[in-house]
Every structure is written in structure tokens, then in C-alpha cells.
Structure 1
Amino acid sequence: ALPQVALLGDEGAANHNRLGGHYGEPGIQLFVYGREEGNDTRPSRYPARQTREASEAVARLNQVNPQQVFFAQQNPDVIDQGVFHNDVIAVSNRQVLFCHQQAFARQAQLLANLRARVNSFMAIEVPTAQVSVSDAVSTYLFNSQLLSRDDGSMMLVLPQECREHAGVWGYLNELLAADNPISELKVFDLRESMANGGGPACLRLRVVLTEEERRAVNPAVMMNDTLFNALNDWVDRYYRDRLTAADLADPQLLREGREALDVLSQLLNLGSVYPFQREGGGNG
């Protein structure tokens, strides 16, 4: 973990994209930052949460090949319009970068550099004239998932807000008819998740495993119908439908929380991962 200092402000995978061929092969790692020390190009209304220094440290700590890394600055103007993370203004999959026309500082140069390094690179830039930055933010257009299909085409998984916005939905249907890999739109109602700060991008994590590595993974954490139902039951049992300030001072909330975590760690066969479990304090 990076030290908790302003110079190393890091918001994780929300400011990272991978570009390249098959997922198990080396690709180009695109780290996106909002500010860097000594550079006056930065947002003025809101603080930039990601620093270049933090992105470089993450790349070093993960031993990423320096020849396969780009560090790009997000457009400060869009940060000031509420684009706190790059996954609100861009998404990538294999050779495709789907982004807003105003996503990056020095965007033309960045795309030229990526085109020179990524085989068959394609940038799909959404014009401001068709979708404004504010509309992209409010509909979570880019906080989506771009997924590969077996036939080589791609599917864009979107929140329902995109379909309900005439301008955004009109653009997306034009995109389907155009010459690019995106051949299908899949829309889901994710309001409950989005109301808590989440969206399709929260599910983007892709972990490539060999068969041997997959066999070494704890099978209890692999999603299936049984686990899905068990997790739903767990949520229904332990998640309160409301929480007041007074509840925060109620020891019962602590007991409920510990019991919930204890049951969850048993469901997933994780062992005693929480201090209260290892200390033998139980749920009382």
C-alpha cells in the first residue's frame, strides 16, 4: 500500500485501462492521473484525486514493464465538471478505447502514441456536440463495461439512464450502425448500485488464470446459483433498511456487523480474517 500522503493520492483501478490483444498476454497499461508535482495544469474547482507520482509508484510496485506503460493526464476541465475518475469518461477493452472527446489532456497526441503501440488500435471518441460531458456524467455512459463476444465483436453493458436520455441513446444507436467492433447494447437497471456510488465499472475486474491457478483458488468464492442465493439471503438478513445517527452509538449495531462478517467469512470459507474473530471476542 502507498503511504497516505497527498503526493501519492491513488484511487485505484478507476484510473487504469489495459489495451492489447488476448487478456493473458502482455498489453499496454494506461494509467490516468489528474495532477503531478510541478505541473500547473490541474483542475481549479475540485481537487484531482489521482497523482502521477502515485500511478508511477503503483506501476513500479507491480513490476510493470516500463516499455508497456503510458501515463496520461485527464482533462482538468472534465474533472471540474464532476469526472473524478477516468472510468466516468473512458473505458477500454482489448484494442478499443471508448472515450469522450474531452477525456484527456493532449488527447490527439495520446491517441497517436497508443495507435503506434497497440496492434489494430481503435479510438471511439464521443463528440461533445452529440453528448456533453454533463450528460455523460449523469447517464454514466462511460461507467460501463465493454465486453468481447465469441465472434470477435463487442458488447457495451450500460445503465438504464443511457436508454432514458434521448441524446445519449440516439448516439449509441448511431454507434451500432457505424463501422466499429461494438455490435450490441445491453441495458440494466442499476439505480440501487448507482445511488451508492457504484455502476457497471465496479464489475470490470478481470483476473486471467491458467487451469492450474484456477484450481488453486478457493472454490467457495466462485459465483454459482447456490452462492448467489446464499449471498442474497445474507443481505436480506443483515442489511438494515435504514440507519440513523443514534444507531451509530448502539452496541447492537456492532454486534450485528460482526455477526454478519462472521457468517459471510463462513459462507466463503475464508477462515478468521477479521481481528475480532482471531481475538476470540465473538459477536458480543
Structure 2
Amino acid sequence: MKHFEVNFDGLVGPTHNYAGLSYGNVASQNNANEASNPREAVKQGLAKMKALTELGMIQGVLAPQERPDLATLRRLGFSGSDASVLAQAAAQAPAVLAACYSASSMWTANAATVSPSADTQDGRVHFTPANLTNKFHRSLEPEVTGRILRAVFPGETHFCHHPHLPENDHFGDEGAANHTRLCRDYGQAGVELFVYGRSAFDLSRPAPTRYPARQTLEASQAVARLHGLDEEHCVFIQQNPAVIDQGVFHNDVIAVGNQNVLFYHQQAFLDTQGALDEVRRKFGEGELHLIEVPSAEVGLQDAVRSYLFNTQILTLPSGEMAIIAPTECRDTPAVAAYLGQLVQQGTPIRQVHFMDVKQSMRNGGGPACLRLRVALSEQELAAVNPACLLNEALFVRLNQWADQHYRDRLSFDDLRDPALVHESRAALDELTQILKLGTVYPFQR
């Protein structure tokens, strides 16, 4: 039976804006309060998805969240009509209004942690939505994320959906952005790497001092238990606190893996040698490529600025691997030089493809942030909601949908506009029909 890794990219929502909400994410903070272009953003995302299908990959689509989150604004004391709620929030708590408008669900690497059936005790694909407790605007997502995932991966024969972890910083969970998987083949049992920033219960362990460590060891351990993973196939690695304090807010900003390749920066982990020794032991027989990028060749700031490690590594139908990189990697001299050398070093990575996702990059998310990886067997792929798998017809229809519903400019002042509420709901209502999701949004109920 064949097995595939399918990338499910998040559609950028119609309220995509630059509010600088993500403390610790340098790009998000640096571009705060600039005007965004939601239509361009969603089309850049769709163009990336289409490019991957042209490379022979199977590509899926995940719907965005309903925004603004008026129910949360009402829970926080703003009352009356929708227009009145927006006006009160804009005048009294503009930061809260911006948070409730955030389109951050576009970064579906944070949607959930996924373990394929080859790794789990019950032989099903397991999903746990991330609780994202570290950031208020993201903590609003898990319930709807769970409903969307159940609509895309329906039934209990092949898929197991868990509720998100308790909404407490002790179990702060950022999903697949701090998780990767190494294996010889997508259908074989692999080693799941859980990268955490701190221990919530053992305060004697190192932790960052400037920026928050969003993922806890305890959350990673809980997800591994929920998914029924064998202890001998899990590695818990602490991220280097010093790099978190320099803007590496998730592991996928400093390391990325695919099959038998782990691509990481020299400063990525706290105890690199110990962690990699454990990875080698648990990976077992077979060729394993641990590609370390030295600081002398690519400095940490260049790595973060270009999002060299927030790239996708894909195994193409030919068997070769390719890196999907943002154009910022091409435009950063040290990074471009490194990638030019990498494809000639005899590793499985033989190609680099540059993609323009600037609207996402300016808000702090590169190509890897935009996708949730799901390894599936032929039977499991057949059980996926087919309306969520990208083909030429769906690509054309989603571009037409974006042209009809999305604005080409959005600033903070636009968030006061009640018309944006109606535009967003109309867009999402039509999208649920296109993707055959049913009633996943509160306004539809």
C-alpha cells in the first residue's frame, strides 16, 4: 500500500491584518500597524499550493476561523448590536479588538499535532488541536480548529480526534510548529520529535528570559500519551533558550525535518549532541541525514530574517527532496549561498524552489507555518473529505471566491467597519459550501 505526506495549507482569512500581536515574533512586531492586503495574501497562499501540485504533491486546504470573534468581545463586556460592539471595543480596548480580528489561523502548523497510523497503538491517524494559550488571539482558535479537522478528516475508522489540552500555560501547546517526524518511509513507524521551550513543573531547568517559551515539556508529553506513541519512538528535545530570546518563537523557525533528513541550525537545541544521539538510536537502521547549518555560514539573524528553516522539505515523486523557500531566502546573500551549496552536497535535498508569500512573511509566518503535514495511507487518503483536496477546478474557484469577497487593503481603522463582519461571514459561509464542511462556524448555528 502506498503512503503519502499531504500538506494541508490554511487559507488566509478575509481579515488578514498587521496588528503586531505576537510578542517574541520579530517580523510580526516590526510590521505592526502597516496596511495589509488580504486578497493578495490568500492568492499568494493559493499559488504556493498550486505550485506544489505541479511538483506532483497532494495538496489540501483548511478553512480559516470566523473573524471578528464577536462572541468573545461580548464575553468581555461589550454589548449591543455588532456595530456597537465594534465601536465600543475600538474606543475602549483597541488591542483586544485587533486580537479578535486576527487571521492567525492561516498558520496551520499551529493548528494541531498529527501522528500517523504507522506510529500509533490503535493504527489510526491522531489529531490534537493546539491550545495556543501563550497568545490571547491564538487561544481563541482550538474549538473551531477541532470542528474543521473533523470535517476534513471524518469518521472514526481511520481518524481519532482529541480535544485540545487544558487551557493553562503549564500545558502550553503550539502544535506541529514544535513537532516533526523522521522515518525511512511515510508508511513505516518513525521517530516523533517534540521540541519544547521550558518545563512548567520543574523550574530548575533552563528557560528563556526575554521572550516566552510557548511550548512546555508537559504539553508535549501529554500529546504523545494521547496519541498512543511508543516511548522508544519519541524524543523530547529542549529548544535553546538563547535563540528563543532572539526571536525563534517556534522550533520550525530554526529546524525542519522530512523522512530521513533533519535540517537545523547549529544553535537550535540546548543539548544538541545528547538529543541527536537519542534520535540516531531510536531511528535505528537506515541512512539518517542530520544537516547542521553552522553559525559561521548562516548567522542566527539571517536565518530568522529569511526563515531559512521555516521552509518545507518535500519528497517529490522522483524520490528526490526539494526545499520550498520564501523569496526572502533568495534575497539574503548568506542564505542564498548556503542553499546553492546544499543541493550539491550529496544529501537527499537536490532542489530549491522559491515562493512569494510576503503577506504572510510580514506577519511572521513562512511556507512551513502555512501547512499542516499529514502522512496518510491510500485508504486514509480515500477517507479524507475530497472537497478539501486541491485540483485545478478548486484552485480556480477559490481564486474567484477571493476576488469576490476579499478586500485589497486593510488597516486598523477598517476593523471598526460593521460591513467587514458581513463580508467575512458571507465569505466563510460560501467557503463551507465549496469545501463541504457543514456548519463549523458559530454564526451558522
What is the TM-score normalised by the length of structure 1? 0.92
Offset, 1:5 = 0.9
Q: Which deviations, in whole Å up to 9, do the C-alpha atoms of 1:127-170 show, x marking residues without a partner? A: 00111111100010000011113443321111111111111111
5 Å-filtered alignment, 1:195-274, equals 195-274=362-441
Match of 2:444 in 1: 277
Q: 1:110 aligns with which of 275, 281, 293?
A: 275
Offset, 1:82 = 0.3
Offset, 1:203 = 4.4
Q: Is residue 180 of structure 1 aligned with residue 385 of structure 2?
A: no
Match of 1:27 in 2: 190
Whether the 8 Å CA contact 1:145–1:201 is kept in 2: the answer is yes
**Worse-superposed segment, 157-166 or 134-143:** 157-166
Match of 2:169 in 1: 6
Offset, 1:75 = 0.5
Match of 1:161 in 2: 328
1-structure distance, mates of 2:401, 2:395 = 10
Q: 2:180 aligns with which of 7, 17, 37?
A: 17
Amino acid at match of 1:80: D
Offset, 1:120 = 1.6
Whether the 8 Å CA contact 1:145–1:158 is kept in 2: the answer is yes
2-structure distance, mates of 1:249, 1:204 = 30
Secondary structure, counterpart of 1:206 in structure 2:
strand
Alpha-carbon distance change, 43 to 173 in structure 1, aligned in 2, over 3 angstroms:
same
Offset, 1:244 = 4.5
Alpha-carbon distance change, 249 to 203 in structure 1, aligned in 2, over 3 angstroms:
closer
Secondary structure, counterpart of 1:25 in structure 2:
coil
Alpha-carbon distance change, 149 to 274 in structure 1, aligned in 2, over 3 angstroms:
closer
Secondary structure, counterpart of 1:177 in structure 2:
coil
Match of 2:250 in 1: 85
Whether the 8 Å CA contact 1:115–1:122 is kept in 2: the answer is no
Alpha-carbon distance change, 257 to 71 in structure 1, aligned in 2, over 3 angstroms:
same
Unaligned stretches of 5+ residues in structure 2? 1-163
Unaligned stretches of 5+ residues in structure 1? 279-284
Alpha-carbon distance change, 54 to 262 in structure 1, aligned in 2, over 3 angstroms:
same
Q: Which deviations, in whole Å up to 9, do the C-alpha atoms of 1:27-74 show, x marking residues without a partner? A: 100000000032330111111111101111111112222221110000
Q: 1:94 aligns with which of 249, 259, 266?
A: 259
1-structure distance, mates of 2:358, 2:340 = 22
Amino acid at match of 1:140: Y
Q: Is residue 137 of structure 1 aligned with residue 137 of structure 2?
A: no
Amino acid at match of 1:197: G
Amino acid at match of 2:329: C
Secondary structure, counterpart of 2:372 in structure 1:
coil
Alpha-carbon distance change, 40 to 110 in structure 1, aligned in 2, over 3 angstroms:
closer
Amino acid at match of 1:164: D
Match of 1:72 in 2: 237
Match of 2:338 in 1: 171
Whether the 8 Å CA contact 2:232–2:282 is kept in 1: the answer is no
Offset, 1:91 = 0.5
Q: Is residue 47 of structure 1 aligned with residue 184 of structure 2?
A: no
Whether the 8 Å CA contact 1:15–1:33 is kept in 2: the answer is yes
Larger relative contact order, structure 1 or 2 (CA cutoff 8 Å, min sep 6): 2
What is the TM-score normalised by the length of structure 2? 0.60
Q: Report the aligned-residue RMSD.
A: 1.7
1-structure distance, mates of 2:207, 2:225 = 24
Alpha-carbon distance change, 160 to 251 in structure 1, aligned in 2, over 3 angstroms:
closer
Offset, 1:246 = 4.7
Alpha-carbon distance change, 96 to 209 in structure 1, aligned in 2, over 3 angstroms:
closer
